[in-house]
A and B are shown apart, each in its own frame.
Chain A
Amino acid sequence: MRKIRAIGVKELRQIVRDRARLVILIFVPALLLLLYGYALNFDIRDIRLAVKDQDRSTESRELISAFVNSGYFQLIAVVERDEAIVRLIDRNEVRAALVIPPRFGRDASTGRRTTVQVIINGDNANTATTVMAYALTLVSSMSARYEVQARLGSPAGPALVLEPRVWYNPELRSALFLVPGLIAYILMITAVVSTALSIVREKEMGTMEQVRMSPIGPLAYVVGKSVPYFVISLLSCIGIVLLAMALFGLPMRGSWAMLVLAISLFLVGTLALGLLISTLAETQQVAFQIALLMSYLPTLMLSGFIFPITSMPPFLQVVTYVVPARYFLVALRAIVLKGVGIEVFWPDLLALVVFAALTLSLASLRLKREWA
């Protein structure tokens, strides 16, 4: 116990002495939160729209105002010719164009099939998908109205009305969605990279050899080294949640105890992953690259942090099952945004336990071989 404490105290002193590491552990998370919270905005509003109305009927004007009044589209130009649309899109003056065919009004009001064309700039696939979804919703609700009108012979409301209610994040603010992801991301960086680098650094400096010559087992060494990072990462996460509550109005609907439990479970796994990497690498550079590949990239791309898992190709969706951050994110969002109880996300916590157990046993296996 005394030996473990000696290692922990030493590690903490090294972290405090090493300004760069301290900054990485404490200030970078806050910086990332601000950066992602303010700059990384996936909300799409005021899509610039051009309209080519070949009909100029009441119905066509209704369709156009439906687009504009939705709040998603902003009418920039009314054009006569297709070339104008091409030019506007090429110059990025509009992102989408609505083309209404001649006789649209008459066909629509008599229930005959007619087609409106929506042209979307696909250079940003994410935006394009969102724009397409908006346009589809608008057009289909209009279409439903005309269908009913044609059957009943008089203008009436649609038979089915879709009234969307967005729960937990009613304004669909990206920041709220991102904060849980950011916590996972920060934990991956601090826990995996810091642990891996701090151990490999000792290998490089030769201090590892000196410590191994002392009567201290690998377990005591690892525990002593991990505890400071565990505490710092945990505090850093709680700081992020508090900061997000203050700056972005993040609701903290669930219990703090549950939050700490989820974070701790995830942390044990990530620290063990860092440890595992440290046994695979001989230099800090190699350790950093492996850490990047094994933790940073999957967490960023495959955890559902930024890109929703359900919109990934099936192959990648399968891959996400081995990304621990995926489960952590589900649990975090459940706790922070929904405030639901453990009965909902226990399978995800269980997955984190499996992750922790797996990395811990792999790491200790490798470590024992290295120390023996």
Chain B
Amino acid sequence: MGARLEPCGEPMNAIEVEHLTRKFGAFVAVDDLSFSVETGEIFGFLGSNGAGKSTTIRMLCGLLRPTSGTARVGGIDVGRDPEGVKRRIGYMSQRFSLYEKLTVDQNIQFFGGIYGLAGDRLARRRAFVLDMAGLRGRENMLTGALSGGWRQRLALGCAILHEPAIVFLDEPTGGVDPVSRRQFWVLINDLAHNGVTVLVTTHYLDEAEHCHRLAMIQAGRLAALGTVSELKNVFAGRRILEVRAGNPVQAMRALDAMPEVEKTSIFGTAVHAVLRGHSDPAALGSRLEREGLAGATWMLVEPSLEDVFLDVAQRSAAS
């Protein structure tokens, strides 16, 4: 195949995925995926375990060859020039991929080294990472002795030492306390403000709200794509009733038996019931009391991302 001339200038989209497919034997891990991510966007990748998120990221990072379809990252075809892609991206994985028996500084030197940084540039980036991670004065601490939040910020720092335009974060906040997770998202927002494109996978749906746009992956396929409010639109024409009762399981059974209720799911101690059309919630509530669920309270709520996620998952599983 001859080299194709690319139009000059910045590509409009940082990541462009077209009909991306990856098979492992007979198993289709990623099935005809198409989407694009704009430069400077925080793009969330949601999906249950084994949905194909990690496989997709590994293909986008040039670690895994696509079976078919194309993906362009920073304007470079990952199938043709995986090494070129690797130079332009930063990657941080769900596990803390730092050397725990090396000090903070030695980790920075190592990752700087394998990205070819040296001299003034390494010194400048080292200072930036130490400041960003709040590790000034701890340069000589063993990385294994750092708390989870610090290690996570150091891992992010090591992933962006070489100032990549695109950063992949594969479940970066797993196993980290809520305060550190918030701090981490502040860093991610800073990156995006500076024009860095961030593609992040997460299990935490509250975190997904930080993303400009979200893609939901189900069984290797794109199940939904859009901004948070666009995704919540799947409930247009339906309403969600949150019911709190002493026995949520009993409440769920009672609700499931009612024709107006499309489906139910448990949210902590409450039950979310998706109501068809414009059925009257007050009538439902009084019927619940008659079912022996005295003291049950109910109210209409806005759909949360979790509602959306469950709805999308169920519908794509059914189709």
Interface residues of B (CB under 8 A from A): 61, 63, 65, 83, 86-87, 89, 91-93, 95-102, 106, 109-116, 118, 159
Cβ–Cβ contact B110 & A10, under 8 A: yes
Q: List 22 A-B contacts (CB under 8 A).
A: A2-B113, A3-B113, A6-B112, A9-B113, A10-B102, A10-B106, A13-B106, A14-B102, A205-B99, A206-B93, A207-B97, A207-B98, A209-B97, A210-B91, A210-B97, A211-B114, A212-B63, A213-B61, A213-B91, A215-B83, A215-B86, A215-B115
Q: Is A116 an interface residue (CB 8 A)?
A: no
Given pairs A210-B98, A372-B65, 20 additional interface contacts (CB within 8 A):
A3-B115, A6-B110, A6-B114, A7-B110, A7-B114, A9-B109, A10-B110, A14-B102, A18-B101, A205-B95, A207-B97, A207-B98, A207-B99, A209-B95, A210-B93, A213-B63, A213-B89, A213-B93, A214-B86, A214-B111
Number of A positions contacting B (CB below 8 A)? 24
| CB nearest neighbor in B for A224 | B114
Chain A contacts of B110 at CB under 8 A?
6-7, 9-10
Chain A contacts of B96 at CB under 8 A?
206
| CB nearest neighbor in B for A16 | B101
Chain B contacts of A17 at CB under 8 A?
101-102
Cβ–Cβ contact A215 & B99, under 8 A: no
Q: How far is the CA of A205 from the CA of B96 in the complex (A)?
A: 8
Chain B contacts of A3 at CB under 8 A?
113-116
Contacting A13 at CB < 8 Å: which of B61, B102, B118? B102
Q: How far is the CA of A2 from the CA of B115 in the complex (A)?
A: 9
Q: Is A216 an interface residue (CB 8 A)?
A: yes
Interface string of A173-211 (1 = CB under 8 A from B): 000000000000000000000000000000001110111
Q: How far is the CA of A14 from the CA of B143 in the complex (A)?
A: 12
Contacting A6 at CB < 8 Å: which of B63, B83, B113? B113
| CB nearest neighbor in A for B89 | A213
Cβ–Cβ contact A213 & B101, under 8 A: no
Q: Is A366 an interface residue (CB 8 A)?
A: no
Smallest CB-CB A-B distances: 5 pairs? A6-B113, A210-B97, A206-B95, A213-B91, A215-B86
Cβ–Cβ contact A14 & B101, under 8 A: yes
B187 to chain A: closest CB distance in Å? 18
Chain A contacts of B86 at CB under 8 A?
213-215
Interface residues of A (CB under 8 A from B): 2-3, 5-7, 9-10, 13-14, 17-18, 205-207, 209-217, 372
Contacting B114 at CB < 8 Å: which of A14, A206, A214? A214
Chain B contacts of A217 at CB under 8 A?
83
Q: How far is the CA of A283 from the CA of B1 in the complex (A)?
A: 41
| CB nearest neighbor in B for A207 | B97
Q: How far is the CA of A13 from the CA of B100 in the complex (A)?
A: 12
A285 to chain B: closest CB distance in Å? 19
Q: How far is the CA of A210 from the CA of B113 in the complex (A)?
A: 13
B84 to chain A: closest CB distance in Å? 8
A185 to chain B: closest CB distance in Å? 28
| CB nearest neighbor in B for A8 | B113
A221 to chain B: closest CB distance in Å? 9
Contacting A214 at CB < 8 Å: which of B102, B115, B118? B115
B143 to chain A: closest CB distance in Å? 11
Cβ–Cβ contact B113 & A7, under 8 A: yes
Chain A contacts of B115 at CB under 8 A?
3, 214-215
A96 to chain B: closest CB distance in Å? 57
Chain A contacts of B111 at CB under 8 A?
210, 214
Cβ–Cβ contact B93 & A215, under 8 A: no
A13 to chain B: closest CB distance in Å? 6
| CB nearest neighbor in A for B102 | A13
Chain A contacts of B91 at CB under 8 A?
210, 213
Cβ–Cβ contact A206 & B102, under 8 A: no
Chain B contacts of A6 at CB under 8 A?
109-110, 112-114
Q: Which of B61, B95, B97 has the most C-beta atoms of chain A within 10 angstroms of its own C-beta?
A: B97
Q: How far is the CA of A13 from the CA of B105 in the complex (A)?
A: 12
Q: How far is the CA of A210 from the CA of B98 in the complex (A)?
A: 8
Cβ–Cβ contact B114 & A209, under 8 A: no
Q: How far is the CA of A269 from the CA of B83 in the complex (A)?
A: 29
Chain B contacts of A216 at CB under 8 A?
114
Q: How far is the CA of A55 from the CA of B92 in the complex (A)?
A: 91
Q: How far is the CA of A18 from the CA of B100 in the complex (A)?
A: 11
